[in-house]
C-alpha cells in the first residue's frame, strides 16, 4: 500500500519536478534564443531564433495541466503560426529581391518593394502582439491562463520576457523600414505570387478585430482534452461610434490627403470636429464624455495648426492618418465601459501607429528617440496586461460597474491595483530618470508632441482615478490598507516629480526638452491632486488636468511657431523674438503666466485647490514640495522667455517672420481659454462637480468664479477686480504725467562696439549656481542609485 | 507746481572722461564718509544715466572717451543739469595743450555749473550741487511749460 | 560681524559727525591752497609766476604803459608754485575754496590787473617801478639813496654811477 | 460681508492705497535715516522717498530703442504694483482692519508676494540691457532660493494656528488665534521660524546682506537700469508697498498683539512695531556687507531652511 503511496508520491514528485524542470528549461531556451536573435545579422536566422524562442515559451504553457491552459495553447499556436508563416515567406521574398540575406544590405529595402514589405511589417508587428492582429488576443489569453493557474509571478515574468522579443522585432523594423535605401534598384513581386501572404494577413487582422469568432473553434477542442465548460474569457470588444467615425476619417484622409497638405490637414480637423456630435450617442458617463470632448476639441486645434506647420514636411497624409488613429485609440480609452476594451484601445493609442507618427521625420535621431519611447510604452503595457487580467480573474467581470460590485479584498487584488497604478503612472512619465525613454521624443513634429504632452499623457491619471474609484468603492467593508498606501506613495511620487522635472528643466537648453520636463512636472500636480481621492483633491487634480491641457498645448504651439520661423530649437541661438513675432510672444506670455500659477491665470486656481486639499489631508511634505515646484517652474520659464523672446536681437532672428494665421488662431483660442478658466474656474468646475457626484464624493460649493473650502474661499472675480484696480491706479499715475518720451540706446557705459551676440544673456549662462547644485544632486544620484541620470542636453 | 518738492531729490551721476581720479575720489567721499554726507541734500549716487538729474563730469575728455561721453550724455533724461567738476572739463586743466584731449566740456554739451579746483574740495562740490539745484528748478519749470 | 554691530550702535549713540557745510560754517585749514590772491602794488612783473605755473593760469603781458597780470581760475590747479616762487609774495594762495560758478561766469572768474610803469626820474623812459619788498630783499635797510637809485632807468643809473665815480 | 463701497474705500484710502503708500514711503525714509545714523552721518529728510517719487514724475520717459517689446517694457511695473496693492488690501491689521473677509488666504499671499519679482523680471529682460539680464537671472535664482523658507514658515504658522485640526489658512484666523492665546514670538517653538522669516524678509527686500540683484558694484541698477520717469516711480512705490506688506505679514505671523481697545491706539501700536522692525532692518543694512550671488544662494538654501524645518518639526511633533 505504501509502495503505491510511495509510487504516487514519486510520480507526483517526478511529475512535479519534471514540470518544474521543464519550466526552467523553457525559460533558459527562451532567453538564449532571444539574446541570439537580438544581435544576429542575418534576417532569416533572426526569424528562426525568435520562432524557436516563442514556441518554447508557449510550450511552458502546457506545464499547467488545466483545460483552459490547453485551449489557450491551441489558440495561441494557431495564430502564432499564421503570422510566422506570413513573415517567413515575406522575408524569403525580400532576400531574393535584395540578393543577400544580411540585414545591412536590406537597409531601407522594405519601403522600396512595398508589396513584399507590407506583409513582413505586419508579421513583425503581429509577433509583438499589437492590436489589430490576432496574436494580441492569443497573448492575452496565454497570460490569463497562467494567472488562472494561480501564480502571479510567472505571468509578470512572461510579460517582461515578451519585451526581449519586442526589442528583436523593433530592431528589424528600424533597419528594414525606417532607413534610407542606398542599394541598386529592386524589382517588386507581382500580385499573383504575393497573394497567399495577403490572405494570411487578412486572416490575422480579422482574428484581431473580431476575436470572439476566432476563438470559437478552440473551445470544444479544449473540452475534448479535459473537463469541458471552463472557457476562455469573453473577448468581445465594444466599439464606440466616435472611434469608428475617426477611423473612417483616418482612411478618408489617407485616401484624399495625398494631393496637398492643406487639404489633408483641414480634412482631418473637420473629421475631429464632426466627431463631436457623435459623442451624444455614446453611453459613457460624464467623466469619460468630458474627456472625449476635450480630446476632440484639442485635436481639431492641433490639425488646424499643423496645416501650416507641416507645410515643408513630407508624406503629410501618412502623418495625419497615424495621428487620427492614435486619437481614435485615446477616444476609445475615454469612452469604453469595460476595462478589456479600454486596454485594447490603450494598445492602439500607444502602439506602432504612434511609433510611425513620432518617427515621421525619419532621420536617425528621431527614429532612435521614437524607438526608445515605444519600448517604454510596451513595458508599461506589460504591467497593465497582468494587472487587468488578475482583476478579471478575481472579480470575474470586465465591466467597471460589475467589477466594483463583486470586488473582494484579496492580496492578489492589491497586487493588481499596484500593477495598474504603476502602469498608469509610467504613462504619465513620473520620476523621469531617463527623460528620452520616459517621455515622447523631442525631434517628433510639434503638433504630435504638443498633443501627446497635453492630452494623450492625461490618459494615465484618467485611468488611475477610475481604478482608485473602483478599488475604494469595492473595498468599503474593510479599510483597504494597501489602497491608502498606494495612494500615499503615488502622491509622494507626484510631489517628487514636480521638483525633479522642474529642476532638470533648469539645466536643459532646448525649447522642446524644457517643455517636456514641465509637462512631467505639471502631471505631478495632477497625480498629487488625484491620488488624494478627497473631493477637494480630486477637483483640484481634474481642474489642473484641464488647465494644463490648454496652457501646455499653447506653449508647445508657440515653440513650434518659433521653430518654424527661426529654424532652430536651441534657446541660446535665439534672442529678441518678441519684436519679430509679437502675437506669438503674447500667447507665450499667457502660457508662462498660467503655468507658473500667477493669479488671474488658469494655473493659479487649480494649484490653490490642490494645496488646500493636500493640507486638509495633512501631508505637509507634499504641500511644501508642490508649492516650491511652482517657483522652480517660473524660474525655468523666465530663462526660456528671456533667452528666446526678450534680450538682444540675434542675427538668426533678424529674418524671422510672424507665424501664419493658421498657427495663430489655435494659439489665441488656447490663450483665451487659459485666461477665461483663470477668472471663471466655475466653467470647468461645474462638470467636475457632477463627476464628483458620480464618484460619490460630495461636490464643492462653487460659483462661476469662486471656490469655498470650509472657512476660507477664493473668488477670482474679486482678485481680478483688486488687481485691475491696483493696475488702474498705476495707470492713472502714468496718465497724470504727459511728459515726452524719447528713444535712446541701452546703457552699456557708453561703449558702442558691442555686437548683440556678446551682450545677450542667453539660456546657457543663466542660473550657473542653481545648475551647479542640480548637477551635483544628479551626480550624487548616479553614484547612489547608479542611474544614468538626467540625460538633459541632447 | 510740484517742482518745489521735486527739487529736493537730485540724483547724481558721475561720468569720468579720462580724469586722474583725483576729483572722483573727492566725489566719492562727499557721498560715503559721514563727514560730507551729500544725502542730507537728498542726493543719491545712481548707477544709470537714465535716473540722473545732476551729471558730474570729471576728466579732460580724452580722445578715447569722447564717443562714450557723447553716447552717455544722450541717455540722460531731459530736465538735467551738467556740472563740470575740476579744471580739466572746464578748460582742459594741466593737460590743456596735450594732443589727446578733445577740449573743454562746453564743446559737447551745454554746461551749467563749473566747479574748478584740482582736486576740488568736497565742500565746493556741495556748493556746486546747491547751485545746480537752483538751475535745475528753472529747467523743470521750462521743461514742463514746453 | 559682531564688531560691525558694536560700531553701528556706537555711531548711533554718538550721533552724526557730519560737517554742517552748506547750512553752516566749515573748517578750512589756513594754508589750504584756494584761489589765488594778487596784490598789484607788490608785483614787480618778474614773470616767475607765469613761468612756474604748470597749467598756464597766469599770463603777464607787457604793453606800452606797463604790464597786465591776468589769472584765470578755471585752469588754476592750485599747486601753489606761484606763491612759493614769487619774490615779493605778490601772489599767494588764499584759503577761499568757493570755486563753484555758473557757466555764465566762466570767463570772468579771473584777476586782471594792470601795473603801470613809472617814468624814470631823469629821462622819460618808462621803467617798472621798484617795490620796497624787492628792495628789502637786496639791501638790509632801504635808505633814500637806494630808493633814489631804484627810481632811475638802467641807463640813467649807469650815467649816475659814472658821474659819481669819475666826476 | 464688507460692503462693496467700504472695501473700495479700504482698498484705496485707509489700510490700502493712500495710507499704505505714504506710510511705506515714510518707513523707507526712516530706514535710510537709521542707516545713515548707524554710519554716523545725518541722512536725508524723512520724506525723501516721497520727494524722489514726485521728482521722477517731472522727468522725461526714455525707452531703449532695441528694447524688444515696448509695450511689455512700459506695462511691467503694473503687475508688481497691482499685486502689492491687493496684498495690502488682503492683510488684516490686528485690531484695526480685519482683512478682506474670506479671501485673505495664505496661498493667495504666496503668489501675490511673487508678483513684484515677476514685474522686475519682465521689466528687466524686456529692456534689452545686459546688466538688466544678469540682474534678472540673479533675481530668479534668489527668488527660487528664498521661496522655500517662506513656504515652510507659512505652513508652520498655519499648523500652529490650526492647533492640531489641520492647517488654518485664513490670515484672520491666525491673528485671532494669537490674540487669544499669546503671539507666536513668545512661543519658543516658533523662534527659529521667526529668524528664518526675518532672513527671508531681508532677501526679498534686497537689503544689503542680500543686495545682489541691483548691487551697485557690478550690475549698478539691475532691472531698473533702463527705466526713468514714471515707471521708475511706480517701481519705487511697489518697493515701499512691499516693505509695508512684509512688515505687516511679520506682525500677523509672529506679533499681532493688541495694545488697547480703540482703533487709534492699535493703529499707533502697529505703526510703532513697524518702525521698530524697520530700525532692526536698518541695523542689519548698515553693518552687513553683501553676499555674492552663489554665496547667497547656498546660504539661503541651508540656514533659513534648516531653521524653518526645525520649528516645523517642533510644531508637528511637540
DSSP of A525-539, one letter per residue?
A: HHHHHHTT-SHHHHH
Tell if the CB–CB gap between B77 and A751 is shorter than 8 Å.
Answer: no
Tell if the CB–CB gap between B69 and A750 is shorter than 8 Å.
Answer: yes
Candidates 3.30.200.20, 2.40.50.140, 3.40.50.2300, 3.30.70.3270; correct CATH number of C27-115? 3.30.70.3270
Average pLDDT over residues A271-292: 87
- By three-state DSSP, how is residue B44 classified? strand
What are the residue ranges in chain C where pLDDT is below 70?
none
Q: What is the DSSP letter of A645?
A: I
Model confidence at A791: pLDDT above 80:
no
Q: CA-to-CA distance for D268 and B73, rounded, in angstroms?
A: 47
The tally of domains found in chain B comes to 1
Model confidence at D1: pLDDT above 60:
no
Model confidence at A397: pLDDT above 90:
no
Report the pLDDT value the prediction gives residue A477, as an integer from 0 to 100.
47
Burial class (CB within 10 angstroms; exposed 0-12, middle 13-18, buried 19+) of A24: exposed
Tell if the CB–CB gap between B68 and A744 is shorter than 8 Å.
Answer: no
Cis check for the bond before B119: say yes or no (omega within 30 of 0): yes
Cis check for the bond before A500: say yes or no (omega within 30 of 0): no
Per the structure block, which three cell numbers stand in for A143? 497570460
- Name the least confident of A420-424, A643-647, D272-276: A643-647
Element holding A125 (H helix, E strand): helix A114-127
Considering only the beta carbons, identify the residue of B96, B124, B135 that sits closest to C99. B124
Q: CA-to-CA distance for A59 and A63, rounded, in angstroms?
A: 8
pLDDT in tens, A530-551: 988 888 899 999 999 999 999 9
pLDDT in tens, B85-109: 999 999 888 888 899 998 889 999 9
Considering only the beta carbons, identify the residue of D63, D107, D143 that sits closest to A741. D63
Q: Which residues of A touch B65 (CB under 8 A)?
A: 750
Q: Which residues of B touch A736 (CB under 8 A)?
A: none
Residue in the structure block whose three cell numbers are 535712446: A744
Model confidence at A790: pLDDT above 80:
no
Share of chain D above pLDDT 90, in %: 29
User: Domain coordinates of chain C in residue numbers?
Assistant: 27-115, 117-167
Report the pLDDT value the prediction gives residue C125, as an integer from 0 to 100.
84
Q: CA-to-CA distance for A455 and A448, rounded, in angstroms?
A: 10
Tell if the CB–CB gap between D283 and C4 is shorter than 8 Å.
Answer: no
Report the pLDDT value the prediction gives residue A1, as an integer from 0 to 100.
43
Report the pLDDT value the prediction gives residue B63, as an integer from 0 to 100.
92
Report the pLDDT value the prediction gives residue D166, as an integer from 0 to 100.
67
Q: What is the DSSP string of A339-387?
A: HHHHHHHHHHHTSHHHHHHHGGG-SHHHHHHHHHHHHHHHHHHHHHHHH
Report the pLDDT value the prediction gives residue D246, as an integer from 0 to 100.
93
pLDDT in tens, C90-136: 888 888 888 889 998 888 878 888 888 888 888 888 888 788 888 88
Of residues A25 and A693, more confidently modeled: A693
Q: Does A768 touch chain D (CB under 8 A)?
A: yes
The tally of domains found in chain D comes to 1
pLDDT in tens, A2-32: 445 555 555 555 555 666 777 777 778 888 8
Q: Which residues of C touch B111 (CB under 8 A)?
A: 103, 106
pLDDT band at A475 (very low <50, low <70, confident <90, very high): low
What does the mean pLDDT of chain D come to?
Answer: 86
Model confidence at A254: pLDDT above 90:
no
pLDDT in tens, A100-144: 778 877 888 878 888 888 888 888 888 888 888 888 888 888 888
Share of chain A above pLDDT 70, in %: 92
Average pLDDT over residues B63-72: 91
Q: What is the CATH number of the domain that holds B128?
A: 3.40.50.12280
Q: CA-to-CA distance for D116 and D40, rounded, in angstroms?
A: 33
Q: Domain containing D160: what range?
A: 4-317
The tally of domains found in chain A comes to 2
Q: What is the DSSP string of A46-105?
A: HHHHHHHHHHHHHHGGGGS--HHHHHHHHHHHHHHHHHHHHHHHHHHHHHHHHS--BTTT
pLDDT in tens, A361-370: 888 888 888 8
Model confidence at B141: pLDDT above 60:
yes
Beta partners for residue D156, in sequence order: none
pLDDT in tens, D43-75: 888 899 999 988 888 888 888 887 667 888 888
Chain D nearest-CA residue for A706: D103
Per the structure block, which three cell numbers stand in for D271? 505703526
pLDDT in tens, D205-257: 988 888 888 777 777 888 888 888 888 999 999 999 999 999 999 988 888 87
Q: CA-to-CA distance for A66 and A155, rounded, in angstroms?
A: 16
Choose among A641, A639, A576, A643: nearest CA to D69.
A576
Over the Cα atoms of chain B, what is R_g? 15
With beta carbons less than 8 A apart as the criterion, state whether B15 and B88 touch.
Answer: no
Query: Which residues in chain D (267-286) have CB-CB distances under 8 A to chain A?
Result: none
pLDDT in tens, A328-361: 999 999 998 888 889 989 988 888 888 888 888 8
- By three-state DSSP, how is residue A567 classified? coil
With beta carbons less than 8 A apart as the criterion, state whether D283 and D129 touch.
Answer: no
Query: What is the number of CB-based contacts under 8 A between chain A and chain B?
Result: 27
What pTM does this model have? 0.89
Tell if the CB–CB gap between A642 and D133 is shorter than 8 Å.
Answer: yes
Average pLDDT over residues A195-224: 77
Query: Secondary structure of chain B: what % helix, strand, coil (to 5)?
Result: 50, 15, 35
Considering only the beta carbons, identify the residue of D41, D42, D283 that sits closest to C8. D283
Of residues A669 and C4, more confidently modeled: A669
pLDDT band at A670 (very low <50, low <70, confident <90, very high): very high
Last residue of a domain, one of A225, A247, A272: A225
Q: Does D26 touch chain A (CB under 8 A)?
A: no
* Burial per residue of A456-467, b for 16 or more beta-carbon CB atoms within 10 angstroms, e otherwise: bbbbbbbbbbbb
Q: What is the DSSP letter of C64?
A: T
Report the pLDDT value the prediction gives residue A151, as an integer from 0 to 100.
67
Average pLDDT over residues D136-141: 88
With beta carbons less than 8 A apart as the criterion, state whether D252 and D91 touch.
Answer: yes
Smallest CA–CA separation between A745 and chain D, in Å? 5
Average pLDDT over residues B42-69: 90
Own/partner contacts of A720-723, CB < 8 Å, gap of 24 or more, are A720/A600, A720/A679, A722/D11, A722/D82, A722/D85, A722/D86, A722/D89, A722/D90, A722/D100, A723/A599, A723/A600, A723/D82, A723/D83, A723/D86
- Name the least confident of A152-166, A297-311, B90-104, D275-289: A152-166
Residue in the structure block whose three cell numbers are 526552467: A24
Q: CA-to-CA distance for A347 and A133, rounded, in angstroms?
A: 12
Q: Is residue A672 part of a domain?
A: yes
Q: Domain containing B93: what range?
A: 3-145
Report the pLDDT value the prediction gives residue A226, as an integer from 0 to 100.
57
Rounded alpha-carbon distances, angstroms, from residue A215 to A73, A159, A226, A231 = 12, 21, 18, 10
With beta carbons less than 8 A apart as the criterion, state whether A794 and A442 touch.
Answer: yes
Q: CA-to-CA distance for A771 and D140, rounded, in angstroms?
A: 13
Cβ atoms within 10 Å, residue A266:
17
In chain C the first and final C-alpha atoms are separated, in Å, by 93
Which value, to the nearest 10 degrees, does the dihedral of the CA atoms of residues D250, D252, D254, D258 take?
Answer: 120
Model confidence at D95: pLDDT above 80:
no
Q: Domain containing A509: what range?
A: 480-710
Model confidence at A45: pLDDT above 90:
no
Last residue of a domain, one of A225, A256, A271: A225
Half-sphere exposure of A194 (CA within 13 A, CB side): 21
Q: CA-to-CA distance for A98 and A119, rounded, in angstroms?
A: 16
Q: Which residues of C touch D290 (CB under 8 A)?
A: none
Model confidence at A493: pLDDT above 50:
yes
Q: CA-to-CA distance for A691 and A47, rounded, in angstroms?
A: 50
Q: Which residues of A touch D62 (CB under 8 A)?
A: 741-744
Tell if the CB–CB gap between A740 and B78 is shorter than 8 Å.
Answer: yes
Q: CA-to-CA distance for B22 and B58, rounded, in angstroms?
A: 9
Over the Cα atoms of chain D, what is R_g? 19
Considering only the beta carbons, identify the residue of C4, C12, C15 that sits closest to D288. C4
Report the pLDDT value the prediction gives residue A6, as an integer from 0 to 100.
53
Amino acid at each position: 500500500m505504501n509502495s503505491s503511496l510511495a509510487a504516487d508520491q514519486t510520480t507526483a514528485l517526478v511529475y512535479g519536478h519534471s514540470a518544474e524542470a521543464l519550466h526552467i528549461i523553457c525559460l533558459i531556451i527562451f532567453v538564449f534564443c532571444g539574446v541570439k536573435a537580438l544581435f544576429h545579422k542575418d534576417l532569416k536566422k533572426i526569424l528562426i531564433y525568435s520562432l524557436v524562442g516563442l514556441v518554447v515559451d508557449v510550450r511552458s504553457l502546457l506545464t499547467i495541466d488545466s483545460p483552459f491552459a490547453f485551449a489557450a495553447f491551441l489558440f495561441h499556436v494557431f495564430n502564432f503560426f499564421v503570422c510566422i508563416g506570413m513573415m517567413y515567406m515575406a522575408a524569403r521574398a525580400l532576400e531574393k529581391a535584395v540578393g543577400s540575406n544580411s540585414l545591412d544590405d536590406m537597409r531601407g529595402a522594405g519601403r522600396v518593394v512595398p508589396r513584399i514589405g507590407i506583409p513582413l511589417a505586419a508579421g513583425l508587428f503581429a509577433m509583438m502582439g499589437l492590436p489589430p492582429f490576432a496574436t494580441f488576443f492569443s497573448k492575452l489569453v496565454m497570460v490569463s491562463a497562467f494567472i488562472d493557474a494561480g501564480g502571479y509571478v510567472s505571468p509578470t515574468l512572461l510579460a517582461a520576457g515578451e519585451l526581449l522579443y519586442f526589442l528583436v522585432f523593433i530592431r528589424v523594423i528600424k533597419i528594414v523600414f525606417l532607413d534610407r535605401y542606398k542599394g541598386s534598384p529592386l524589382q517588386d513581386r507581382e500580385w499573383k505570387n504575393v497573394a497567399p501572404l495577403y490572405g494570411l494577413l487578412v486572416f490575422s487582422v480579422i482574428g484581431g478585430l473580431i476575436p470572439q469568432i476566432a476563438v470559437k473553434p478552440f473551445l470544444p477542442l479544449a473540452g475534448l482534452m479535459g473537463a469541458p465548460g471552463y472557457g476562455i474569457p469573453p473577448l468581445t470588444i465594444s466599439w464606440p461610434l466616435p472611434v469608428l467615425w475617426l477611423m473612417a476619417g483616418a482612411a478618408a484622409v489617407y485616401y484624399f490627403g495625398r494631393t496637398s497638405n492643406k487639404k489633408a490637414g483641414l480634412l482631418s480637423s473637420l473629421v475631429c470636429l464632426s466627431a463631436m456630435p457623435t459623442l451624444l450617442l455614446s453611453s459613457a458617463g460624464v467623466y469619460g464624455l468630458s474627456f472625449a470632448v476635450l480630446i476632440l476639441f484639442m485635436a481639431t486645434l492641433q490639425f488646424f495648426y499643423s496645416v501650416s506647420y507641416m507645410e515643408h514636411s513630407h508624406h503629410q497624409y501618412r502623418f495625419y492618418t497615424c495621428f487620427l488613429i492614435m486619437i481614435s485609440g485615446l477616444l476609445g480609452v475615454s469612452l469604453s465601459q469595460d476595462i478589456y476594451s479600454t486596454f485594447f484601445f490603450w494598445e492602439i493609442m500607444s502602439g506602432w501607429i504612434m511609433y510611425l507618427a513620432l518617427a515621421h521625420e525619419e532621420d536617425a535621431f528621431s527614429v532612435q528617440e521614437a524607438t526608445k519611447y515605444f519600448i517604454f510604452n510596451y513595458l508599461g503595457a506589460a504591467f497593465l496586461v497582468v494587472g487587468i487580467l488578475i482583476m478579471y480573474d478575481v472579480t470575474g467581470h470586465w465591466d467597471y460597474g460589475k467589477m466594483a460590485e463583486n470586488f473582494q479584498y484579496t492580496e492578489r487584488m492589491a497586487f493588481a491595483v499596484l500593477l495598474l497604478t504603476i502602469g498608469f503612472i509610467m504613462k504619465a512619465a513620473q520620476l523621469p530618470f531617463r527623460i528620452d525613454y520616459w517621455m515622447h521624443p523631442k525631434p517628433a513634429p510639434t503638433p504630435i508632441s504638443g498633443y501627446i504632452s497635453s492630452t494623450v499623457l492625461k490618459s494615465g491619471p484618467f485611468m488611475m482615478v477610475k481604478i482608485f474609484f473602483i478599488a475604494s468603492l469595492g473595498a468599503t467593508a474593510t479599510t483597504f490598507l494597501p489602497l491608502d498606501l498606494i495612494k500615499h506613495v503615488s502622491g509622494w511620487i507626484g510631489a517628487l516629480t514636480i521638483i525633479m522635472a522642474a529642476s532638470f528643466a533648469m539645466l536643459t537648453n532646448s525649447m522642446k526638452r524644457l517643455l517636456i520636463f514641465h509637462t512631467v512636472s505639471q502631471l505631478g500636480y495632477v497625480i498629487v491632486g488625484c491620488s488624494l481621492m478627497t473631493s477637494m483633491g480630486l477637483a483640484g487634480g481634474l481642474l489642473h488636468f484641464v488647465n494644463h491641457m490648454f496652457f501646455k498645448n499653447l506653449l508647445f504651439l508657440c515653440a513650434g511657431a518659433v521653430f518654424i520661423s527661426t529654424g532652430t530649437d536651441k534657446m541660446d541661438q535665439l534672442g529678441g523674438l518678441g519684436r519679430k513675432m509679437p502675437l506669438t510672444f503674447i500667447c507665450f506670455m499667457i502660457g508662462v503666466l498660467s503655468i507658473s500659477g500667477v493669479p488671474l491665470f488658469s494655473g493659479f486656481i487649480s494649484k490653490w485647490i490642490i494645496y488646500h486639499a493636500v493640507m486638509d489631508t495633512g501631508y505637509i511634505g507634499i504641500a511644501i514640495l508642490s508649492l516650491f515646484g511652482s517657483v522652480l517652474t517660473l524660474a525655468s520659464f523666465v530663462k526660456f522667455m528671456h533667452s528666446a523672446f526678450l534680450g538682444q536681437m540675434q542675427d538668426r532672428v533678424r529674418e524671422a517672420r510672424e507665424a501664419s494665421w493658421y498657427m495663430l488662431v489655435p494659439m489665441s483660442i488656447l490663450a483665451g481659454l487659459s485666461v477665461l478658466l483663470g477668472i471663471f474656474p466655475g466653467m470647468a468646475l461645474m462638470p467636475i462637480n457632477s463627476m464628483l457626484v458620480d464618484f460619490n464624493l460630495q461636490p464643492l460649493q462653487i460659483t462661476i468664479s469662486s471656490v469655498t473650502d470650509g472657512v476660507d474661499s477664493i473668488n477670482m472675480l474679486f482678485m481680478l477686480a483688486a488687481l485691475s484696480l491696483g493696475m488702474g491706479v498705476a495707470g492713472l499715475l502714468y496718465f497724470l504725467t504727459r511728459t515726452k518720451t524719447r528713444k535712446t540706446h541701452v546703457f552699456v557705459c557708453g561703449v558702442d562696439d558691442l555686437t548683440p551676440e556678446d551682450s545677450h544673456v542667453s539660456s546657457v549662462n543663466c542660473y550657473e549656481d542653481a545648475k551647479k547644485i542640480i548637477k551635483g544632486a544628479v551626480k550624487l544620484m548616479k553614484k547612489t542609485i547608479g542611474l544614468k541620470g538626467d540625460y538633459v542636453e541632447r | 507746481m510740484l517742482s518745489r518738492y521735486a527739487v529736493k531729490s537730485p540724483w547724481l551721476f558721475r561720468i569720468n572722461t579720462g580724469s586722474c581720479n583725483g576729483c572722483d575720489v573727492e566725489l566719492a567721499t562727499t557721498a560715503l564718509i559721514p563727514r560730507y554726507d551729500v544725502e542730507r541734500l537728498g542726493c543719491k549716487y545712481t548707477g544709470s544715466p537714465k535716473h540722473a538729474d545732476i551729471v558730474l563730469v570729471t576728466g579732460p575728455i580724452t580722445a578715447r572717451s569722447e564717443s562714450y561721453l557723447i553716447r552717455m550724455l544722450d541717455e540722460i533724461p531731459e530736465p538735467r543739469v551738467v556740472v563740470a567738476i575740476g579744471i580739466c572739463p572746464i578748460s582742459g586743466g594741466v593737460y590743456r595743450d596735450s594732443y589727446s584731449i578733445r577740449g573743454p566740456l562746453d564743446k559737447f554739451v551745454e554746461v551749467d555749473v563749473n566747479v574748478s579746483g584740482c582736486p576740488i574740495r568736497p565742500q565746493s562740490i556741495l556748493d556746486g550741487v546747491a547751485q545746480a539745484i537752483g538751475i535745475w528748478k528753472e529747467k523743470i519749470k521750462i521743461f514742463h511749460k514746453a | 560681524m559682531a564688531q560691525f554691530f558694536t560700531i553701528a550702535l556706537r555711531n548711533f549713540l554718538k550721533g552724526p559727525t557730519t560737517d554742517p557745510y552748506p547750512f553752516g560754517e566749515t573748517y578750512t585749514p589756513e594754508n589750504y591752497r584756494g584761489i589765488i590772491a594778487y596784490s598789484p602794488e607788490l608785483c614787480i612783473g618778474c614773470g616767475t609766476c607765469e613761468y612756474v605755473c604748470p597749467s598756464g593760469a597766469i599770463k603777464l603781458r607787457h604793453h606800452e604803459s606797463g604790464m597786465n597780470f591776468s589769472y584765470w581760475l578755471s585752469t588754476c590747479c592750485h599747486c601753489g608754485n606761484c606763491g612759493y616762487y614769487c619774490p615779493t609774495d605778490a601772489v599767494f594762495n588764499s584759503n577761499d575754496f568757493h570755486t563753484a560758478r555758473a557757466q555764465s561766469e566762466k570767463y570772468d572768474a579771473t584777476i586782471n590787473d594792470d601795473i603801470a610803469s613809472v617814468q624814470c626820474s631823469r629821462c622819460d623812459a618808462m621803467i617798472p617801478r621798484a617795490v620796497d619788498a624787492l628792495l628789502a630783499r637786496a639791501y638790509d635797510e632801504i635808505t633814500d639813496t637806494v630808493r633814489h637809485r631804484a627810481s632811475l632807468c638802467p641807463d640813467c643809473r649807469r650815467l649816475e654811477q659814472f658821474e659819481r665815480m669819475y666826476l | 460681508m464688507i460692503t462693496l463701497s467700504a472695501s473700495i474705500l479700504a482698498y484705496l484710502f485707509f489700510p490700502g492705497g493712500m495710507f499704505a503708500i505714504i506710510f511705506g514711503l515714510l518707513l523707507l525714509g526712516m530706514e535710510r535715516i537709521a542707516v545713515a545714523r548707524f554710519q554716523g552721518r545725518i541722512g536725508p529728510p524723512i520724506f525723501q522717498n516721497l520727494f524722489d517719487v514726485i521728482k521722477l514724475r517731472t522727468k522725461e520717459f526714455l525707452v531703449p530703442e532695441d528694447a524688444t517689446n515696448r509695450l511689455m517694457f512700459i506695462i511691467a511695473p503694473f503687475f508688481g504694483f497691482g499685486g502689492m496693492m491687493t496684498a495690502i488690501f488682503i492683510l488684516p491689521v490686528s485690531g484695526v482692519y480685519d482683512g478682506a473677509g474670506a479671501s485673505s488666504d495664505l496661498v493667495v499671499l504666496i503668489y501675490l508676494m511673487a508678483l513684484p519679482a515677476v514685474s522686475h523680471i519682465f521689466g528687466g529682460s524686456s529692456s534689452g540691457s545686459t546688466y538688466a539680464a544678469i540682474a534678472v537671472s540673479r533675481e530668479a535664482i534668489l527668488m527660487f532660493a528664498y521661496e522655500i523658507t517662506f513656504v515652510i514658515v507659512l505652513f508652520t504658522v498655519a499648523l500652529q494656528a490650526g492647533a492640531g485640526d489641520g492647517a488654518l489658512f485664513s490670515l484672520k484666523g491666525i491673528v485671532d488665534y494669537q490674540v487669544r492665546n499669546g503671539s507666536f514670538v513668545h512661543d519658543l517653538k516658533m523662534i527659529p521660524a521667526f529668524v528664518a522669516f526675518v532672513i527671508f524678509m531681508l532677501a526679498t527686500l534686497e537689503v544689503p546682506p542680500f543686495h545682489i540683484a541691483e548691487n551697485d558694484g557690478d550690475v549698478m541698477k539691475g532691472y531698473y537700469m533702463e527705466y526713468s520717469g514714471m515707471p521708475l516711480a511706480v517701481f519705487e512705490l511697489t518697493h515701499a508697498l512691499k516693505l509695508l506688506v512684509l512688515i505687516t505679514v511679520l506682525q500677523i505671523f509672529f506679533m499681532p498683539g493688541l495694545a488697547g481697545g480703540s482703533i487709534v491706539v492699535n493703529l499707533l501700536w502697529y505703526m510703532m512695531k513697524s518702525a521698530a522692525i524697520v530700525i532692526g532692518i536698518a541695523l542689519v543694512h548698515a553693518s552687513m556687507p553683501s553676499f555674492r550671488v552663489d554665496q547667497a544662494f547656498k546660504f539661503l538654501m541651508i540656514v533659513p531652511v534648516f531653521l524653518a524645518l526645525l520649528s516645523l518639526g517642533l510644531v508637528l511633533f511637540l
